[in-house]
Chain A
């Protein structure tokens, strides 16, 4: 075997060295540790000893020349190997590449190279990935380069900065500058999207919002809902929403300021003596808010049936105009997506909106012990021009109390 000995980093972070004098000639037999060459770096002048025993078949570089760390210094024909011609041809290429190329390109010690083959990058999922440092992964992401398509030249087969830059240059029709420019698409703001935009802006501009968040232990409600679902005669899909609407309506009855609008022209608060509850529904076109009319007069089952019809119509694009008008209070829920809490935007000109969040099973301290409990957050946004914090808090406390003892919500 012909062994290519490459200039090691003989200092700390040395990148190149000058050949001061050769201590062996081509054709010389050398033993391990025999000094081969004297090299001067910016830190020290040192003798480089041979790591192998054999015959020097090739020296690369003459005295006074600069050799980069990682470039071949000598080729040693280890005992019993005669096939040196091909090897020496290959070496001169490697040496030239090492000299002309970047330091990263050539910085590969013989040891690191041997290891490259041993290191297979198999992952648990069976895929293989290019090894690269987090910094280089980030650079590749920023440059829009697929790491797996980059030819790696770093130690241990790692992708270097130069490799990524080379991949960027090689990509057809893309200059390094153009790659970082993001492509764009323009979508006209039309129809429902435009209406949503206008209403959100109006709400946020006119109503100083604040959001009050409370957590509710809905363990009993979860059990109750499961029981209700088990009833054989149930046609409707029972969700939590009918219960929540019931609790909200009771709360609104006690705190009429939240079931109101502010008439800005007359500077009057208009208390509504009816309870039309808007229910935010996500559709393909965007957010819609169909309205459950006279919610205070509906049974749980009627509420469920109403919600289902309104939501189905909204998603199918079949909502009637009157279904989308006249709400006095709005509830917004993302259902299973739910999140922890939010800062809902009030459905203008109402003064309050209730966000309902995901129910999570959590360990809770209940009368002296830790128990698994179902916990849900409520986020209530209010128009501070009309409703002060204490009233919002009282309303939320009422809703919480009702939801925590939900048998009170059952139809009489």
Chain B
């Protein structure tokens, strides 16, 4: 019943046919959306492979959620700040985070901007206005609200975007952030990637509500649901929401309904806790397949372009991995840097022993 108030907004149905007004995008922009999704898909496949070969310690893929990530990230301006949850590494790449830095972070090598200290796959890209991931769930939401309030006080045109998953909505931080943002009209967009699974906890164990979008109502926020596997719908709805937030209309919550097609991470085996025949149904709704069908219909994509793009991206990735693996580990000395402005004695002693 509540679901009726939050209809799932779509531009393309599962066959790639238009069911509502598409966003205004040039041919290049439309192709760029696809290439961005393809790139993430290929990087994820490769990184999972490296993990199984012992070349990477840990990885979490975004497979199945590419449209939610790419469609939303494409709607932000460079001056906006992104507070990622998990699985939005692709958004950093779209904002200019170098692939070498991305791969190096996963390896934890000498080039890694986080110097091998962060968990693999937890990127930090300040130059791209992209805050570090945190394994702790929902901590980024109050941060995003605070940053948004600062932007408002400084009267900048920028807004903050907070990504999070369905699991984060059970955290206190989510509710604190929503309430605060609502009361103070912070220019923040809450973007929930509802991929149905918080590691092994399904949505119906996460909430008794029918949607996550409805939670915004209690805090006085606008909210909506969008098909997270429909890149055009995600882009159109995010763009409209971003415009409204930027214009002073107050915070908005978007629930992108999608599905985690793979494991939670390289340490996880979903076949132990979920019915993988459901996963097969979702694979039929693969966001890449759907959008590819649409582009083919417009004559913007074909098998040859797919083959060329795949080859080119895989080559770039292979060369980047080679450079990253050759870079070596961060020096031991880096262990003693950055935390204290003046090194305390016990670290000086340990450094000498090192």
Binding site for B on A (CB under 8 A): 5-12, 14, 33, 43-51, 109-111, 115, 118, 129, 131-132, 134, 137, 156
Contact = CB atoms under 8 A, between A and B. Distances in A.
Contacts of A134: 350, 353
Contacts of B353: 129, 132, 134, 137
Contact of B57 (A7, A9, A45): A9
B301 to A, nearest CB: 26
B54 A43 contact: no
Interface in B13-63: 49, 51-55, 57-58
A28 to B, nearest CB: 17
Contact of A44 (B49, B263, B325, B332): B263
Given A49-B49, A115-B328, A43 B55 contact: no
B268 interface: yes
8 contacts: A10-B266, A14-B267, A44-B268, A45-B269, A51-B55, A111-B55, A111-B325, A137-B353
B267 A51 contact: no
A50 B53 contact: yes
A9 B269 contact: no
A24 to B, nearest CB: 14
Contact of B53 (A8, A14, A115, A131): A8
* Top 3 A-B residue pairs of the complex, sorted by shortest distance between their CB atoms: A8-B54, A44-B269, A51-B53
Interface residues of B, number: 22
Nearest to A33: B49
B244 interface: no
A11 B266 contact: yes
Nearest to B263: A44
A45 B263 CA distance: 11
B354 interface: yes
Contacts of A129: 353
A111 B54 contact: yes
Given A47-B52, A50-B53, A118-B328, 8 more contacts: A10-B51, A10-B54, A11-B267, A43-B267, A44-B267, A44-B268, A46-B52, A49-B53
B47 to A, nearest CB: 12
Nearest to B270: A44
B54 A109 contact: yes
Contacts of B52: 8, 10, 46-49
Contacts of B49: 33, 49
Contact of B329 (A33, A45, A49, A115): A115
Nearest to A14: B267
Contact of B269 (A7, A12, A46, A137): A46
A253 B111 CA distance: 74
A134 B268 CA distance: 32
Interface in B126-170: none
Counting chain B CB atoms within 10 Å of each CB, the highest count among A47, A48, A51 belongs to A51
